Amino acid sequence: MTAASFLATGALAMLGLVWLREYLAGFSAQRPRHYADATPQFDLIRHLNGPMICEGVIYGPTGRVASRFTGRFNAEWTGNRGVMTEHFIYDSGETQDRAWHLELGNDGAIRAEAADVEGTGQGRQSGPTVQLRYRLRLPRESGGHVLDANDWMYLAPNGTIVNRSQFRKFGIKVAELVATMRRVDAS
């Protein structure tokens, strides 16, 4: 074996180990069942309802903060179907609007659609968590790429929701979002 092939084999082995760690023990490895018996119980209709404020950061592929944002949300439910409108203001001055159309099954399953989501997002509420997976199409000015999103919301004891999302392209993490969401008085 030549030095170059030995080096290439070692590099591939390391990449494989990093991949295994992420998918077996990292953020991507968690499943809703891991939280099923934990409390408090996240009730999507109760906890994502009415006006909310959101504050967060987006990390780029190197782990550095790429953007900061605030958002105003409003969620309204009729039975097990809801619409959550989002208005984001980024530190660059750019704004973004999105409307999520949500459907909650009796078993905790979630279906979610939005104009910039390819197909239908699938998720589940379980214990104090909600997970949603979907394919997000970035705006044209951001490259227009379609990213695989793994979105987790964790209910804090005071009712604040902590949101952590990872975005991947070809299985490689290209961005991560961490935000808080909390209800605000309607007046």
Query: pLDDT tens-digit profile of 123-168?
Result: 999 999 999 999 999 988 888 899 999 999 999 999 999 999 999 9
What integer pLDDT is reported at residue 28 of this predicted model?
A: 76
Beta-carbon contacts of 14 under 8 Å, excluding residues fewer than 6 positions away, are none
Domain match, 47 and 138 both: yes
Hunting for tokens 């991947």 — which residue is that?
Answer: 168
The verdict on whether omega for the bond into residue 128 sits within 30 degrees of 0, i.e. cis, is: no
Looking at residue 150, which CATH number applies to its domain? 2.40.128.20
Number of domains in the chain: 2
| For residues 12-37, average pLDDT | 67
CB 149 within 8 A of CB 163: no
pLDDT band at 47 (very low <50, low <70, confident <90, very high): very high
Q: Assess whether 114 and 165 both reside in one domain.
A: yes
Distance CA 22, CA 13 (A): 14
Q: Are 73 and 53 spatial neighbours (Cβ–Cβ below 8 Å)?
A: yes
The mean predicted confidence, pLDDT, of the chain is: 89
Residue 78 and residue 5 share a domain:
no
- Are residues 89 and 11 part of one domain? no
In this model, does residue 30 exceed pLDDT 90? no
Q: Which domain covers residue 3, as residue numbers?
A: 1-30
Note whether 122 and 160 are same-domain residues.
yes
- pLDDT tens digits for range 56-75: 999 999 999 999 999 999 99
Phi, psi of 47 (to 5 degrees): -85, -25
Percent of the chain with pLDDT over 70: 88
Statement to judge: residues 140 and 110 lie in one domain: yes
Instruction: Locate 37 and state its tokens.
Output: 């018996």
- Same domain membership, residue 18 and residue 6: yes
pTM recorded for the entire structure: 0.83
Band (37; pLDDT cuts 50, 70, 90): confident
List the structure tokens of 148.
């695989």
What type of residue is 35?
A: Y
Determine the residue type at 143.
G
